[in-house]
Structure formats: structure tokens, C-alpha cells
Amino acid sequence: MNTNKCAPSGALVNAVWVAEVYQNGWGVPQDYSKAHKWFEAAAAAGNTDAMIDLGRLYEQGLGVAQDYGKALEWFQKAVAAGNTDAMINLTRLSVMDSKPEAAARLLELIQMRLISEAIHVPAALGVADLLAAGPKSADELSKVIGASAPSLRRVMRALASFGIFSQDSDGRFALAPMGEFLKRDMPGSLHSAAFLFGGETGTSTVRLFLECVKTGRSATHMLTGGKGSFEWIQSDPELTKLFNAVMTSFSAVHMTGLLETGLLEAYDFSQTKKIVDVGGGHGKILSEILKENAGQRGVLFDLPHAFEGGKNTIAQAGLADRCEVVSGDFFVSVPAGADLYLLSRVIHDWDDEKTVAILKVVRAAIAPHGRLILLETMLRPDGNTVYPLLSDLNMLLITGGCERTEEEYRALYRAAGFELTRTVATKSPTGTTVIEGRPLVLG
């Protein structure tokens, strides 16, 4: 659900809410035509988020005839009214109007991988930590970190154009909001992610992109002589440490606006007696759910490499008396008898065959009237972020898994003995969706 930038009246909020109910099928049959009608009413009254939603409906031909001209018109109106979120949509469609601009934009995208590598540079050199105390010039930074000042200035200038750093009239650089997340001590820091996906580790996999597409194999599989991605990670203690740090930071980012209020607003855990968090890493999500529901018990279940981190998280949350930390292999078994099994960003790591195998193990363990909950970056036709598509490509490269649509999840659930009962969009900025299932009655 978007947040309107124009502080609308109650009537406008209601119109947008009704539109989103029809758009997402929340409690009613999904109906893009009705969503269009309500978004149009809100947009006519000045709601800029409704203008963006209308533009997307016209762009994708949902509930209306596909019309790029009308889509462009609504995006332009939203930008003119001060909604900066519309700019990315406007830019995407605007390149269709002019071949020279389209070519220039394509050239930018071809070179865009340099930005990922450029982000790795200040992460590796600790630049964000140095800027935490205040703005500094490239000369000042280079003296501390031992880098070439002219070269560092060029990298910082490029990243400033993307809003990661800022540059003042004296040429000094400071942290912008995105740059804050490159600090090591920032809650939800992505410093470790810049290391994992940039530099030698990142380029070793990206260079095999074409081969991944041609063969259907992951880059990890090719690089390691047939090992799976998790087997590869666990074979290197330093890589294991880095991976665990990345997964913890991802939990914070993917659940931003979700753990604080959104997940507990989007889905009711209050009637659950016992939760098993399968592949739960260090237990960030499970601990937040248990803290909000005092009568519940939990089991944090993952491979041995996550055990100590999980114990620390549970202990720090004051939940050691209500939550066990257990190591094991979810392809073999999971703790039995719980009435809710939670798998957060686990299933997208695996192909369909292995996904069904995991879910069948859960099916054998779950209580008869229990619930299966996946938290995944689901591919939605009305999604408002490109992250799920980028994550899908990352899965292609690294794990051999994929992001999926609701219908694809429905088929996997049924193959494993579950019925997909509903999906619930959340406030997560990366498109996390609650995917609920219940055991099919066998017999």
C-alpha cells in the first residue's frame, strides 16, 4: 500500500483503499476495472499515488486497454504535483518517445554494473565509517585509507549522482541516506552485502551469466564443480561469516516497515501456540513475532552455521525460556507438531523439485490444522518495485532457485500436500508477500 504524499482527506484515503482492495483481491475477487474506477476518482481529487497506480494500470493493460500515452500522462501529472516516486516510471516510459534518448538510456544501463562495483570500493575502504563524523574531501579520506585521491574523488562523485553520497560546493563528501547503510554499525547495514555482491566474489559469478542462461545451471554450480551454493558457502569460514551477516541485514531490509508493524498488521499470529521458523537464520523475524505474542513458543531451526548467532539473538530478546534453537537439515526433517511453520526467503533459493521436497517434509511435521507461511518476494503484476525481478536474476546466478508468481506457488503447495489459501501484500519496500497454506486433507 502506498503512502500518499499529499496528506489527503479521509474520503481520498478511503477511495485509494477501496481501489487497492480490488487491485489486490483483499477479501473480494480481484477486479482491475473497479480498481481503475476508484483510482481515477482519487486521482481526479489530487491524490498523486492514485495517479501513479493509474499509470501502471494503463502501462500494463490491467482493467483497461494498454495505452502508453495515458500511462505517461498520469506519471507526468504525479511528477508535476510533487510526487518524486513517479519519476522512475516516467523515465522508463519516456525513453519510448525518442530513439536517441532510448539509445542513451540503454547505454547507461549497459554501464550500470560499474555502479555496483563502485559501491564495493567505499565499502572495502571503510569510507562510510569515516564520513560518520562529518564531511571530508577526497584528499582527507585518501590520507586515512591509503588510496589515490583523484581516483577516489571520481568514484565518490559518481556515487553522489546516485544519491549514495552528497558533495558540497567545496568538494567535500558526506553520507546521504543510502550511504548511511554502508556504515558497519548501522542497524540493517548493507556493508556486508556490498562485499558479497561486489568485488571478486560478485564478479566471479556475474561473468558466468551467459553460461547460466545457456545451460540452466547456476554460476555457483559451475564455479565449484557441482557443489550447491550453501555447500560452497559452508566450505569457507570467512564466506560463511559474510553470508550470515548478509542474511541478517537482508532480514532487516526486506522486513523494513514489516517487522515494526506491517507483518503483525498484515497477518494475525495471535492464535498460534507454537511456531517453527524453518531456515530462520539468526532468528530476527521469529523473535519479533514472539515478543508480540507472550503466550507463544518457538523453535528456530537452521543449519549448524547459524546456531550461535541464533542463540545470541534469542537470548538478547529475552526469549530463551520460550524459544529453542535447533540445528538440522530441512531436506531430512523439521521439528514436528507445531501449528505454524514459517519459512522466510527460503523457498526462492531452490528449484521446483527441491522446493516440493522441503514442503513435503514440513507437511509431514505440521499439526493437522496447522498453517504454512512463506515470506517471499513474490512476483506480482501490480508490484511497485523492480526488486523482485532483480532478486530473481540473482537466484538464477547464485542458487539455481527463482522468485515466483502466486499461481506458481499454488502449484507447488498442491504438489506438496498443501492448499494455498491466500496471499497478503505487505508494506515491505522490496515486495515481501505473506503466502499462507493449510494441509490438504489426505484420503
Catalytic positions are: 348
C-alpha–C-alpha distance, residues 356 and 299, integer Å = 22
CA dihedral 330→292→180→7, nearest 10 degrees, is 120
Helix (H, G, I), strand (E, B) or coil at 239: helix
The residue type at 129: D
Helix, strand, or coil (residue 165): strand
Side-chain-facing half-sphere of 403: CA atoms under 13 Å: 19
Closest CA to 179 of 152, 160, 158: 160
User: How would you class 273 by CB atoms within 10 Å of its CB: exposed for 0-12, middle for 13-18, buried for 19 or more?
Assistant: middle
User: Which candidate, 357, 339, 243, places its Cα nearest to that of 299?
Assistant: 339
User: Measured between alpha carbons, how far is 226 from 205 in angstroms, rounded to an integer?
Assistant: 14
Distance CA 67, CA 73 (A): 10
Which residues, other chains included, contact 310 with Cβ-Cβ below 8 Å and sequence gap of 6+? 280, 281, 282, 283, 300, 302, 325
